[in-house]
A = this chain, B = another copy of it.
Amino acid sequence: MSEEKFDFTIDNLGPCTIPSPIKLSTVHGDYTANYVSDDSYVISNVNVFDKTKPVVLDSSNLMEKAGPREKIYFDPTHAKAGICTCGGLCPGLNDVIRAIVRCLNTRYGVKTIKGYQYGFRGFFPESGYEPLELDRYLIDEIHKIGGTYLGTSRGGGQRVSEIVDCIERDGINMLFILGGDGTQRGSYDIACEVEKRGLKCAVVGVPKTVDNDLMFIDRSFGFETAVQRAKETVAAVHMEAASQINGIGLVKLMGREAGFIAAAAALSSHETNFCLIPEVPFEMEGEHGFLACLERRLAKRGHAVIVVSEGAGQDLLQATGATDASGNKKLSDIGVFLKSEIEKYFKAKNIEINLKYIDPSYQVRASVTTASDSIYCERLGNNAVHAAMAGKTKCVIGLVHDKFVHLPIKAVTAHRNAVDPEGSLWRDTLDATGQPILMVNDKDKALEKMAAAVAGAKSKPSEQKKGK
């Protein structure tokens, strides 16, 4: 099996010559935090299946540790910083913004921090959105509310030249971009254009994906908060289901290509009977299809709770012709589709059911962070600042094996991570739900079809995670 290799080397704007103003220590034993050196690494692949094979120690397996450097690239008294948030909401955006501003302001003494509004829109003069002048006082309480203080929008990342025009115009030396993989690909292009023009501007991303589908990292910020909220929704729907005759609770959760939120909600709620995720195909009809399984569950226990990722079962939507009505986005909604199919099925069988469907996505996304996400965001923000001050660029901050590292944008956006249907997370999820391993009628045929689908997919279970 040939594993894909990634290069974890981090780009620098140039040599660091300016002593850091934050005055840490270089010795042990003085009760003062130490600078982190560029020679500190974390081993990426910690799985060992053959003890006799030495561990590779090169740029494909070593990740550079994040943290404050003794010498930095930018003179903080003159450096100007910019921040923006792009794409959909995710718990913790304000926590990260706050941490970046505070670390720049308080620790390094950076005075000019511009908050570009509404994603990349804020860079385009015609939008009319002037950047906000940020300082530690202005943002002191924003972590107590959800959403993003800077506003957000989708798209715009392809207008690289205009964005860099703005960076040039405003004299920005470090740009912090909070966004998903689409956004980070934009960040990469921006960094390249910056380089081409000979500008001195570090582009550092904080990867945002509430779906938790980012490769290499332990988890994405906001994910735990989302699971907490999702769990609360599942609990409510379970109560509805359990109180009705053949009550069925159906919850659609976020997860376009990865079922992490759905699996975690199922595992944490202890009340889910079916968890449907994009990584594990299923069939609706037939003796072993989902509907028959659901019927058997109802017969046995009188109610059922179903958690479904928004990206699950997309092949079914086509197979049943549900998307024939051209352009009708609602029809490609797996939640609405399942609701309708379940109702049809039981109506045809003349079995009374009481189905309650809920899509809590907006409540989940806009939530204030849990304590552990709050801490995570704070530390991501701090490390993003340390990276930018040291002239690191084209990189994002990640948590790997519980340590903060720099990761090249190129590597982290190559693929998306996904739930491994044969790994321990999904194994424990199935144990918790009690659902059949595969809800298909002809397993061999199904496997074949799946193999074809996976081959063409952008998202795949990371090899890095396989051993989990």
Contact = CB atoms under 8 A, between A and B. Distances in A.
Interface of A: 24-25, 28-34, 36-37, 39-43, 46-52, 54-55, 57-58, 62, 65, 67-68, 89, 98, 102-103, 106-107, 118, 121, 141, 143-148, 151-153, 218, 224, 227-228, 230-233, 235-240, 242-245, 249, 264-265, 267-268, 270, 280, 356, 358-360, 362-363, 365-367, 370-372, 374-375, 378-379, 382, 401-404, 421-424, 426-428, 430-432, 434, 437-438, 447, 450-451, 467-468
A47 B401 CA distance: 10
B404 A402 contact: no
User: Taking the full assembly, how many copies of this chain does it contain?
Assistant: 4
A151 B245 CA distance: 7
Nearest to A381: B428
A252 to B, nearest CB: 12
17 contacts: A24-B427, A51-B58, A52-B57, A102-B431, A106-B434, A143-B270, A147-B240, A152-B243, A224-B370, A224-B372, A237-B366, A356-B362, A358-B360, A370-B372, A378-B428, A379-B428, A404-B424
Contacts of A143: 270
User: Main secondary structure on chain A at its contact with chain B?
Assistant: mixed
B51 A62 contact: yes
A61 to B, nearest CB: 9
A317 to B, nearest CB: 18
A356 B362 CA distance: 7
Given A30-B422, A42-B47, A268-B378, 18 more contacts: A31-B438, A32-B422, A34-B423, A43-B48, A48-B57, A51-B57, A68-B427, A89-B239, A89-B243, A102-B431, A151-B243, A152-B244, A267-B374, A270-B378, A358-B359, A370-B372, A401-B401, A402-B468
Contact of A243 (B148, B363, B374): B148
Given A103-B431, A375-B268, A437 B32 contact: yes
Given A54-B54, A218-B402, A422-B28, A224 B371 contact: yes
Contact of A42 (B48, B89, B366, B402): B48
Nearest to A30: B447
A362 B239 CA distance: 9
A315 B222 CA distance: 40
Contacts of A68: 427
Contacts of A365: 240
A428 B382 contact: yes
Contact of A362 (B28, B224, B237, B450): B237
A119 to B, nearest CB: 9
Contact of A118 (B224, B245, B280): B245
A271 to B, nearest CB: 10
Contacts of A232: 363
Contacts of A58: 51
